[in-house]
Amino acid sequence: MEKLLPQIKKTLQEEMPWVRSFDVCLIPHADMIPEDAGFPYIGIKDGGVRNSHECMNGVTRELKVDVYVYDKLGQRDENILALQDKIREMDTCLRGNLFDGTLLSVEPVSESPTTLLYTKKGLAIRAGLHLVYEGEENYV
């Protein structure tokens, strides 16, 4: 995880034109974003790690990562639809991205529905993309 999470963060900072680079951060919990966060905001949450089957060079590991997009709650359907568009854009960016080649695979496994979240700046909406990365134990 210590290599993977910064790579995901850097990629999203560089590839998502709709978010300021300092509004892409690692988060401790999906319901917690920094007080000074602007919208839209991307939160990257580490998930579980599972040792998988033996391979030629040792054990492979599956690393689960959740990536959330947060935005202001608006008065119209467009805000929710725009949030879903951002999730699809992140999916396209991260799907198949093995970064420096040390990973064996990446698979977006699911998306979470739009949910409502209370922040110090008011009501916000959140949706998530859930990914599983696989890599050799020595490299991840």
d(CA 7, CA 84): 23
The residue count of the chain comes to 140
Q: DSSP letter string over 40-103? A: SEEEEEEEEEEEEEEETTEEEEEEEEEEEEEEE--SSHHHHHHHHHHHHHHHHHHTT--TTTTE
Question: Could you tell me the pTM of the whole model?
Answer: 0.91
CATH 3.30.1490.480 describes domain 4-136: no
pLDDT digits (tens, 9 = 90+) for 46-97: 998 888 766 566 788 899 999 999 999 987 788 899 999 999 999 999 998 9
Q: Are 118 and 96 in contact (CB under 8 A)?
A: no
List phi, psi (to 5°) of 30.
-60, -25
Instruction: Check residue 140 and give its pLDDT.
Output: 55
pLDDT digits (tens, 9 = 90+) for 86-126: 999 999 999 989 987 778 889 889 999 999 999 888 899 99
d(CA 93, CA 113): 20
